[in-house]
Amino acid sequence: MRSFIALPAALSCILALCNAANISISNKTEYKIYNTGDSKCFAVDNMFQGNTNQVIVFDSFPVMFYGNADCSNLVSMNYKGGWTDVNRPIRSFQVIRPDKQ
């Protein structure tokens, strides 16, 4: 079972950054793309402080989106979906990935 999970991860490691996540956040007027390979808490642009945001995630472990700047107030979770409405302000996000050696 493990090798079925490890193979796509290894491929994206060769093709791009290791398990980098492509995360786009839109306020329905403009959007920004965030690429990250780690699980730090990232603060996002303050154009997403309104209540009409959308998020989309590619190539990734689940991504948690937060309404505050330090990744403690969860407002949405996304994993390889289409555009998903988030009718809350988004101020930070974090890629939830298994621990790596």
Q: Which stretch binds ligand NAG (CB under 6 A): 27-35, 60-68, 71-79, 81-89?
A: 27-35
In Å, how far are 12, 76, 90, 91, 101 from 70, measured between CA atoms?
28, 15, 11, 8, 25
What is the C-alpha to C-alpha distance for residues 77 and 57, in angstroms, rounded to an integer? 10
Q: Which stretch binds ligand NAG (CB under 6 A): 6-14, 47-55, 65-73, 77-85?
A: 47-55
Site string for ligand NAG, 49-88 (x = CB under 6 A): -x-x-----xx-----------------------------
Per CB under 6 A, the list member of 9, 41, 47, 69 interacting with ligand NAG is: 47
What is the C-alpha to C-alpha distance for residues 90 and 71, in angstroms, rounded to an integer? 10
